[in-house]
Amino acid sequence: MFNNIDVKTTDEKVQALLDYLNEENDTKLTADDIKVEEQSYSKSGALYHTPFGTYNVLTDSESYDAAYQRINDIWDDLGLESFTPNAQIYIRDNFIEPTDSLDEYMEENFYEYYTDIESETDHLYSIFSDRLQQELAEVDGFFKNDMQRYLDLNEKIDDINSDLDDVKFDIKKLEEKIAKEEDNPYKEKLEDDLSDLEDEKNRLTAELDETQLELEDWDFTEWYENYEKNKDNLIDKAVQTKMADWDNSLEWYLDEFGKETIDYLLNNNLAKINMDELVEYIIDTDGRGCELAGWDGVENEQDNFYIYKQDNFIYECDKPDKEDNEYEMAD
């Protein structure tokens, strides 16, 4: 039996339920045929016991809140296991988001990376003492501006020196050849060729001097002198630059360790479900009735209210002369 709660015919929800039941069953029920059982612990609101079963009657916003609570409770109890395999894949791909803990882990991972590479000395440009210094210089913009020009000048010097070596070798060979020749027209031609080579040598030497002078003016002294003092700030800048390459820490983690780690992240508070988006997805896919109508999974709308059937128990109103006006289950 249920506690008596007087229900007036002016009650909008009762009236909406009466209109629905009478229309569906071609009856003439009145408010006296409905028993209301309040449920303060549930967002689904009161239970309405009728001769055609038990119902919830909710507004649109109440229906959303009740569906939200139902889905959230299921998630708390069973997590992903409460969904079909295909739904689990879709949820993993669309409704998981990082927690602050994962953001912190990502940041710590990058700081550890820069700590580790300080001891590496392979594959460096000659001006750097370790890989950390080189990568921090890159983050600081050297490779886009100053550093690229510096490297170009060094490469140019290497090329000029190589050409000079070739010209000097040719001069030496030509001088040896001229020394063996007697005075004749051919010797004169060789001397002309030698003169051309000397001119080329002088040109290359002048270009080398000019390039070396420019390189000497290319001053990294200030950056190097302040490197140790600025290193921590440069590392902070490098870490933030790396983090900005990703939309969020979850995207980074899954790329680094694989999508199969989702369950680990969820179980260790490194990721969480975006419940608002999950609820919207379930409601859009299955409707609210699937969550709120325990009997048939159907949402019925009547007079701007939404009606959900919970069971098919038939309750008959006791005779009016009974004081408590209770309902009894029909045989």
Structure confidence at residue 56 (pLDDT): 94
Structure confidence at residue 103 (pLDDT): 97
Q: What does the CA dihedral 296, 38, 316, 329 come to, rounded to 10 degrees?
A: 70
Quote the pTM value: 0.61
Confidence category of residue 212, pLDDT binned at 50, 70, 90: confident
Structure confidence at residue 148 (pLDDT): 66
What is the pLDDT of the chain when averaged over all its residues?
Answer: 84
Question: Is residue 5 predicted with pLDDT exceeding 60?
Answer: no
User: What is the chain's Cα-based Rg?
Assistant: 42
Structure confidence at residue 4 (pLDDT): 41
Residue type, 98: P
Phi first, then psi, for residue 301 (nearest 5°) are -105, 135
Long-range contacts of 59-64 (CB under 8 A, 24+ apart): 59/304, 59/305, 59/306, 60/304, 60/306, 63/288, 63/292, 63/299, 63/306, 64/279, 64/283, 64/288
Distances (CA, A) of 61 to 23, 42, 249: 25, 14, 34
Distances (CA, A) of 118 to 21, 239, 327: 77, 14, 80
User: In which region does residue 304 sit, left (phi positive, over 0), alpha (psi from -120 to 50) or beta (all else)?
Assistant: left
Residue 321: how many other CB atoms lie within 10 Å: 6
**Percent residues over pLDDT 70 in the chain:** 84
Question: Is residue 197 predicted with pLDDT exceeding 80?
Answer: yes
Question: Is residue 211 predicted with pLDDT exceeding 50?
Answer: yes
Whole-number Å distance between alpha carbons of 13 and 216 = 88
Q: pLDDT tens-digit profile of 17-36?
A: 999 999 999 999 999 999 99
**Structure tokens of 297?**
């999974």
**Structure tokens of 285?**
């896919």
Question: Is residue 331 predicted with pLDDT exceeding 80?
Answer: no
Long-range contacts of 284-289 (CB under 8 A, 24+ apart): 288/63, 288/64, 288/66, 288/67
Domain boundaries, the chain: 12-79+276-329, 107-243
Tell me 142's DSSP state. Answer: T
Structure confidence at residue 158 (pLDDT): 86
Q: pLDDT tens-digit profile of 142-180?
A: 655 566 677 777 788 888 888 889 888 888 888 888 887
Q: pLDDT tens-digit profile of 85-109?
A: 999 889 989 999 999 999 999 999 9
Nearest residue to 211 (alpha-carbon basis) of 161, 171, 173, 162: 161
Question: Is residue 231 predicted with pLDDT exceeding 90?
Answer: yes
Confidence category of residue 1, pLDDT binned at 50, 70, 90: very low
Structure confidence at residue 104 (pLDDT): 97
Structure confidence at residue 6 (pLDDT): 39
* Rounded mean pLDDT, 56-63: 93
Question: Is residue 309 predicted with pLDDT exceeding 60?
Answer: yes
Whole-number Å distance between alpha carbons of 257 and 275 = 24
